[in-house]
């Protein structure tokens, strides 16, 4: 995980606790979790939208190749 060991993660957590305080850490954690979840959802939705467009463009190319 990014080359961070247990000691480094513990130091980062202690620094965050000192800076933000014990009351704000749960709010920051939930906000970060929501942001990551929304980002993943947005990326997967974008991929789902691109697939039908690619299929439509392939169908159009195939119909253009057929002589009339």
Q: Which tokens hold the place of 5?
A: 């060991």
Q: Which tokens hold the place of 47?
A: 């991929």
Q: What is the pLDDT of residues 3-22, one digit of tens each?
A: 889 999 899 989 999 998 98
- The answer to whether residues 25 and 17 touch, using CB atoms and an 8 Å cutoff, is yes
Q: What is the pLDDT of residues 29-46, one digit of tens each?
A: 899 999 999 999 988 887
Distance between CA atoms of 26 and 31, rounded to whole angstroms?
8
Distance between CA atoms of 10 and 6, rounded to whole angstroms?
6
Distance between CA atoms of 49 and 15, rounded to whole angstroms?
42
* pTM exceeds cut of 0.85: no
């Amino acid at each position: 995980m990014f080359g961070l060991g247990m000691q480094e993660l513990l130091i980062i957590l202690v620094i965050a606790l000192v800076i933000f305080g014990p009351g704000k850490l749960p709010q920051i954690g939930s906000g970060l979790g929501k942001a990551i979840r929304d980002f993943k959802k947005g990326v997967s939705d974008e991929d789902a939208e691109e697939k039908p467009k690619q299929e439509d463009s392939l169908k159009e190319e195939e119909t253009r190749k057929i002589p009339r």
